[in-house]
Structure 1
């Protein structure tokens, strides 16, 4: 059976920017609801970003990919073979894709939020830490690591989040030696709190309903 519809499905440009520090290295990843990206799109997007951000975003830290849909707009690629079905290059398609990618990165840049986890742990021996050489301690603003890595997993069929891996530099010794209870300690508590929070959201999405995708 063949299904048809008079309405098109809206396509998106989805973006993510990971930043080491406010002035440190960064990586921008953009995923298009399109057949694929191209060198020409990357060149044009970087030209526009350079006007607003200088050399902050370059070919070395910006990746643009496509989901390989065969039902997207055509004519936006610079290669003749890929433009045959659209009877040549289509400026309108190209501009729509480039605008979406540019807006995606600008939106993500303007919505960057700190990823530090402050006040979540203490140094087990501040006096021992102070025995490090001054130039070593000068590299850090605190005596504990406040950085956290958290990749998440999405069910690609339903679009729902299904879980996450987390590496947080804290020792599981919140329960002292006098406790008689079996416990997963702070890591186990964090996992339980996260799962309870996840179960209370709508399809694993924040209840505020925010949408950071850029439509085109």
Structure 2
């Protein structure tokens, strides 16, 4: 199966808004690729507390890499607050990689990367792809690598290429960018080395009281008939993809839940993975 390119490097955005939109579009395309890859042999059922297993086996790989760079005297990323300079470490930053490959033809594969950073970046992604393409010629390319982030607001800045994020993070910090690239490449290497036969299971449920609507008053501007379709003003659905070994034991999870990475406020000066980073850390 041919996977489309996740990013068009000849049409890079020039503004911060365009960067955000491009990151969201890239993530959407990556998830579509992952869904299309799985849909050939698995069923997806919407609803609460539903778990569905894939009929076919895959080659599955999982890996974690440390992407922590400088944690003092660099500006932080998320709140665009110029005085917010980090003074230490609350918890280390990590990249997590999942590889799903066709057991019958292992060259058919997709890599999904989720990093403890505020948002992905085209420059970071290019460097990751270049390193992986060098290590595994023809195997990992722009066509099958999706880079996402937890969107925490308590990490370091200085790794984004566009001007506006560089202004709010007081410039480009190569040590930070290099740490993100090196740790992410290591995560994919570890996932690659751990490839083994296994199965996938997907499920979803509703989690109540774990997130908030950022603007309840704005939500009320939606048509009443539309609001009646939902039980509240926020999305509480949690979806989880479970990676199992041949014996049915869990090797790891990939979860999606709509909560903003702002449990730590802009008065925080310790580098942290915030709520999603903590959730992953506690599981691991």
Among 188, 202, 209, the alignment partner of 1:151 is 202
- Matched residue, 1:111: 194
> CA separation of 1:83/1:155 partners in 2, compared to 1, >3 Å: closer, same or farther?
farther
Q: C-alpha deviations, 1:9-66, integer Å up to 9, x for none? A: 2111111100013533101001011101111111101111111100101111100111
Q: Distance in 2 between matches of 1:163 and 1:46?
A: 26
Give the alignment of 1:68-83 within 5 angstroms. Answer: 68-83=151-166
Match of 2:130 among 31, 47, 58: 47
Distance 1:165 1:50, change over 3 A: closer
> Which among 109, 114, 119 is matched to residue 26 of structure 1?
109
Shift of the 69–155 alpha-carbon distance from structure 1 to 2, 3 Å rule, reads farther
Map 1:112-131; keep pairs closer than 5 Å. Answer: 112-115=195-198
Name which structure has the greater RCO, CA cutoff 8 Å, separation 6+. Answer: 2
TM superposition shift of 1:7: 4.0
Name the residue aligned to 2:14: none
Q: TM-score, normalized by length of structure 1?
A: 0.53
| Distance in 2 of aligned mates of 1:56 and 1:95 | 23
Task: Report SS of the residue matched to 2:159.
Answer: coil
TM-score normalised according to structure 2 size: 0.41
| Distance in structure 1 (CA, Å) of the matches to 2:122 and 2:241 | 33
Gaps of 5+ in 1: 116-147, 167-193, 199-211
1:109 Cα deviation from its structure 2 partner: 0.3
- State the aligned residue count: 133
Q: 1:50 to 1:107 in 2, by over 3 A?
A: same
Give the structure with the higher percent strand.
Answer: 2
Gap change, CA 1:7 and 1:96, over 3 Å in 2: closer
1:59 aligns with 2:142: yes
CA RMSD of aligned residues (A): 3.5
Conserved in 1, the CA contact under 8 Å of 2:200 and 2:241? Answer: no
Structure 2, unaligned stretches of length 5 or more?
1-86, 211-237, 251-279
